[in-house]
Amino acid sequence: MQHETKETALPLPAIASTSSNAVPPPLQMGYRFSGAHRFDPVQVSAFAHAAGDTNPIHHDREAAARTRFGKPIVSGTHTTALLMGLIASHLSTLGEVVGVRFTTELLRPVFADERVTLEWEVSRIDPHPRGGHFIDLTGSIKGTEGDCRVRGVGRVLVWRKTVSH
């Protein structure tokens, strides 16, 4: 299913500048970071309900057994949230960070009892005119066999942490 989105330019807040507008180390082209996550059916159901997703494929083992997947799958909101959360958690250790844009493709199901690997790689760095840098990333969620289940691209704005005096 395709969704049409409309991008609206909003004014960005002023970014506290530091003496250097360099990209926070170790960010550079090709920089990679990853994490792992183990899903379980209770967690999958709770997250889907919290996100407003009442589709039985995430909650009801019997209903899910009658689908093409044969068992419960993780909601796309859950996998997407984990990918975005990894960026925020990791990059906030290197500098200040805010999300700008994210797109995901749900390629194959992630099952409610699976362990997956989440990965991101920096694909582009552009200076922001008011300080900091736009960081573009490509990412994925892979199953234990290394097969790509979810693919993502994202853009964040990163700047050096302000030192308090």
pLDDT of residue 25: 81
> What residues of the chain score a pLDDT lower than 70?
1-21, 163-165
pLDDT of residue 20: 53
Sheet containing 32-38: which strands, arranged edge to edge? Answer: 32-38, 115-127, 133-142, 148-159, 96-106
Which residue in the block uniquely carries the two structure tokens 């960005």? 12
| Secondary structure of residue 133 in the 3-state scheme | strand
- Fold of domain 32-159: Thiol Ester Dehydrase; Chain A (3.10.129)
Instruction: With CA atoms as reference, report the closest residue to 137 among 36, 28, 26, 35.
Output: 28
Q: Report the C-alpha gap between 71 and 52 in whole angstroms.
A: 20
Domain borders along the chain are: 32-159
pTM given for the model: 0.83
pLDDT of residue 163: 65
What does the DSSP 8-state code read for residue 22?
P
CB atoms within 10 A of CB 149: 21
Please name the helix (run of DSSP H) or strand (run of DSSP E) that holds residue 76, with its range, or none. Answer: helix 76-91
98 to 13, 87, 110, 122, 144: CA distances (angstroms)? 11, 10, 27, 15, 30
pLDDT of residue 4: 38
Instruction: With CA atoms as reference, report the closest residue to 91 among 118, 122, 126.
Output: 122
Q: Report the C-alpha gap between 146 and 143 in whole angstroms.
A: 5
